[in-house]
Amino acid sequence: MEHFTTKAQLQQFLALQSAKGKTIGLVPTMGALHNGHLSLIKQAQQQCDVVVCSIFVNPTQFNDPADLEKYPRPIAQDIKKLEDINCDILFEPAVAEIYDNNEHWHLNIGPLEDLLEGKYRPGHYQGVTQVVHKFFDLIKPDVAFFGQKDYQQVLIIRRMIALLNMPVKLIMCPIERETDGLAMSSRNIHLAADDRKHALILSQTLNKIKQHFDINNIPALKQQAEDEINSKPGVQLDYFAIADGETLLPANKNSKITIALVAAKVGHTRLIDNMIIAG
């Protein structure tokens, strides 16, 4: 595996690949790789000639400095996982390689940025679009792979691509779950044993709502979900939404896709999960 830490090295190598007519797939990550990330890389390997995985804990998408500070960074283990899976390129830049000291620009993607996660983590998606825009610009991937786990992020990046006519195709890959249903996340590492058990209420509730979904009964279903999650010790619900899969506004009879999304603090760890429940 090629391991680059500078833009110049990466671009030089990619220019050679493009000159040979190779297609480039990008899997952007913040590291602490788990099977969810590896499934994105496998998908990229099936569709592209050369796969770049980036590991960059992007400071501009953290609205809480303590969260940034404690974000896991097991780089040696990550490199081993990428080598084992035969990833072609790891791009692992330092913050100074990506940002100048005085960068204050951001993109305005519209209302999607301020709903749900955007409401609880103001500025988060502006940081995400800032860094993803930079990576698209630098790497010029033909295809970029993102996990459904952050469904709102997928919609926002899709919107950025459309607004700016960026020549990249976005593929959303399914959520990978532990055998008991917990959505894989780099943050799961922080869950104490009891929290790990209590966290299952999120996927269990999503499944239950999917089973009982009825477009005419959304307020009652939402209330039931909120009550069940709130009754778990150590779990503090931020939101449970039953939303239109394109706008993330409340689902209605015209919604082509209906999705349930949840965010909650379990112990000290904030988790998100979602499930497409109709469409």
List the x/- string, 56-95, binding to ligand PAF by CB under 6 A.
--x--x----------------------------------
Binding piece for ligand PAF, criterion CB under 6 A, among 7-15, 25-33, 62-70, 262-270: 25-33
Q: Is 131 in the site for ligand PAF (CB under 6 A)?
A: yes
Q: Structure tokens of 225?
A: 């979900």
Three-class SS state of 52? strand
What type of residue is 115?
L
Smaller CB separation from ligand PAF, 72 or 234: 72
Kind of pairing, strands 258-266 and 235-244?
A: antiparallel
Among 4, 24, 26, 29, binds ligand PAF (CB under 6 A): 29
Residue 247 Rama label (left phi>0; alpha psi -120 to 50; beta): alpha
Round to whole Å and give the CA distance between 161 and 153.
Answer: 12
Count of residues binding ligand PAF (CB under 6 A)?
Answer: 10
Residue 37 bears catalytic tag: yes
Tell me the CA distances in angstroms from 270 to 17, 162, 168, 185, 189, one per residue in order. 40, 30, 31, 10, 12
Per CB under 6 A, 118 contacts ligand PAF: no
Ramachandran quadrant class, 138 (left: phi over 0; alpha: psi -120 to 50; beta: rest)? alpha
Closest CA to 237 of 246, 247, 245, 228: 228
Q: State the minimum distance, in angstroms, from the CB of residue 131 to ligand PAF.
A: 5
- Show contacts with ligand PAF in window 218-277 (CB under 6 A): none
From candidates 10, 24, 26, 30, binder to ligand PAF by CB under 6 A: 30
Q: Which residues bind ligand PAF (CB under 6 A)?
A: 28-30, 58, 61, 128, 131-132, 150, 153
Catalytic residue annotation: 37
